[in-house]
Structure 1
Amino acid sequence: MTGTTASRMRGGPSSAALPAENLTHVELTWVEKKIEHWIRFGTPVHERILDRQRRVLSFRPGTVLAFVRWASNDFGTIISRIDIMRAVARGEAYQTLPFVRPGGDILLKIAGWPKVERVLQMIDAIEYLGIDPDAVSADHWRHVHNRIAVGEAPRAYTVEHHRAYLLRRRAAP
Structure 2
Amino acid sequence: MTRLPVSLQKLDPNGLTHVELTWIEKRIEHWIRFGRVAKDQIIDRRRRIVSFRPGAIFAFVRWAANDYGTIMSRVDVVRAVAANEPFTTLPFVRPGGEILLSIQGWPKVSKVLAAIDTTDAAGVDPCDAAPDHWRHVHNRITAGQEPRAYTLERHRAWLKRRKAEG
* Native 8 Å contact 2:90 2:96 kept in 1: yes
Aligned Cα RMSD in Å? 1.0
**More displaced 10-residue stretch of structure 1: 19-28 or 70-79:** 19-28
Alpha-carbon separation, structure 2, partners of 1:80 and 1:104:
20
Deviations, residues 54-98 of structure 1 (Å, cap 9, x unaligned)? 000010000000000000001110110100010001131000100
Structure 2: tracts of 5 or more residues without a match: 1-11
Q: 2:23 is matched with which residue?
A: 30
* Aligned partner (choices 12, 16, 37) of residue 44 of structure 1: 37
* Native 8 Å contact 1:21 1:90 kept in 2: no
Q: What SS is found at the alignment partner of 1:107?
A: strand
* Aligned partner (choices 83, 86, 89) of residue 79 of structure 2: 86
Q: What SS is found at the alignment partner of 1:33?
A: coil
Is 1:99 paired with 2:92? yes
Alpha-carbon separation, structure 1, partners of 2:111 and 2:74:
11
Deviations, residues 107-136 of structure 1 (Å, cap 9, x unaligned)? 000001111101111111111111000000
Is 1:156 paired with 2:138? no
**More displaced 10-residue stretch of structure 1: 146-155 or 64-73:** 146-155
Q: Identity of paired residues, percent?
A: 62
Amino acid across the alignment from 2:77: I
* Native 8 Å contact 2:88 2:98 kept in 1: yes
How does 1:129-168 map onto structure 2 within 5 Å?
129-168=122-161
Question: How many corresponding residue pairs?
Answer: 155
Q: 2:8 is matched with which residue?
A: none
Give the TM-score normalised by the residue count of structure 2: 0.91
Structure 1: tracts of 5 or more residues without a match: 1-18
* Native 8 Å contact 2:122 2:150 kept in 1: no
Pick 1 or 2: higher relative contact order, CA cutoff 8 A, min separation 6: 2
Where does structure 1 differ by over 4 angstroms across 4 or more consecutive aligned residues? none
* Aligned partner (choices 35, 51, 66) of residue 73 of structure 1: 66
Q: What SS is found at the alignment partner of 2:111?
A: helix
* Native 8 Å contact 2:18 2:93 kept in 1: yes
CA deviation after TM superposition for structure 1 residue 154, in Å? 1.1
Q: 2:116 is matched with which residue?
A: 123
Amino acid across the alignment from 2:130: S
